[in-house]
Structure formats: C-alpha cells, structure tokens
Amino acid sequence: MKPLIRWGLLTLAIAATVHAMALFAGPTIIMSIAMKRIAGEAGVNRWAFAPRTTPETQRVVRSSPDLAYAACAWDVSKGPVRIRAAGAADYASLSLYGANTDNFFSLNDRTMGPDGAEIVLIAKGAATPAGIDPAKIVVAPSRRGLALDRRLAPTAEAFARADAARRAVNLCETLPKG
C-alpha cells in the first residue's frame, strides 16, 4: 500500500475514534462540570437554591428568568438518597437527570399533589431501604446525577414565595444503606 494511502487511512481511523469518543463523553463531561459546580456550592446530596435568574446570576445555558431553580447534585454510591420537593399552587416540577444528561424522572405540581413529592433514589441493583414505601423508590441509571426543582416565578414577589416554600420543605439527604 502506498504511504499516502496508509497515512490517509490512519488519519481517518483516528478521526473516527476521536469523533466517537467526544460524542459519547461530551454530555457526561458537561454534566460533570455542572454537578461539581453545584456540589461546590452546597455539597453532595444537598439542595443549592439559586437566586433569581438574571444576566448577572445565570449559570447554565438557556436558563429561564421566569423560573426559580434549585439543584441537588446526588450520589447514590454511599447509600440511597431521599429527595423531597415542596408542593406549589402554580407550576413546579422535580426532575432527575442521569450523568449523561438524560431526564429519567419528572413530577410536576399536579402529579406530586399539594403536599409536594418525596422519592428515594437508589443505585441499580441496590436493595430497597428498610421502612421505605416501595412506591417512592426510583432507580438511578448512574451513580451520580442532578435533581432540579423548577418553580414558576416571573416576578420578584412570585420568586420570594417560591423561594420560601422550597427552603421550608425541600430536602436532599443520604440515607443509611440497607
């Protein structure tokens, strides 16, 4: 085989490998950066309550200025994680994202009811923790990920109400294993 053809084939093989690696690793790397930033603020398995989204406070691409955001960087490797979110009279949701950015679980204010939501996140293959209602169990597709609490808050007054509600009720904590 001619050297130039060999060089071209090697280049194409490397290009295909780099393309595939970046394609599959990219979302996980971006998510990992977001999780580290949130965990750096509040710690792992703790809610971080973001201030009202403005040009100065925005942290994530295409954040909505009309929503109040709280995030919990969860890690189920040390045990189940209990996640609680306050109910709301207006739109609110609790959504869970795996390490690859997939939104694998969501509840909104209508599906969670006026008292809010409580779920227990466990690792794949882990036993259901004793004393926990099996209906609350959600199996995490990855060891780490993010929980996001969104609340309708298009005005400063609405944001203050949403912030007070979530700070009073929301919980993200590690439970003992087994």
- Tell the smallest beta-carbon distance from residue 20 to other proteins (Å): 8
- Tell the smallest beta-carbon distance from residue 22 to other proteins (Å): 5
- Cα R_g (the chain), whole angstroms: 20
Which CB atom, from 106 or from 174, has the smaller least distance to other proteins?
106
Which residues contribute to the site for other proteins (CB under 8 A)?
Answer: 3, 6-7, 10-19, 22-24, 26-27, 30-31, 34, 53-55, 58, 60-66, 90-91, 93, 95, 97, 100-104, 106, 108, 110, 141, 146, 148, 152, 154
Beta 137-139 vs 117-122: how paired, if at all? parallel
- Token pair listed for 76: 């189920």
Nearest alpha-carbon partner for 93 in 58, 76, 62, 68: 68
- Token pair listed for 128: 């259901």
- Token pair listed for 55: 């040009």
- Tell the smallest beta-carbon distance from residue 64 to other proteins (Å): 6
- Token pair listed for 135: 């209906």
Which CB atom, from 114 or from 178, has the smaller least distance to other proteins?
114
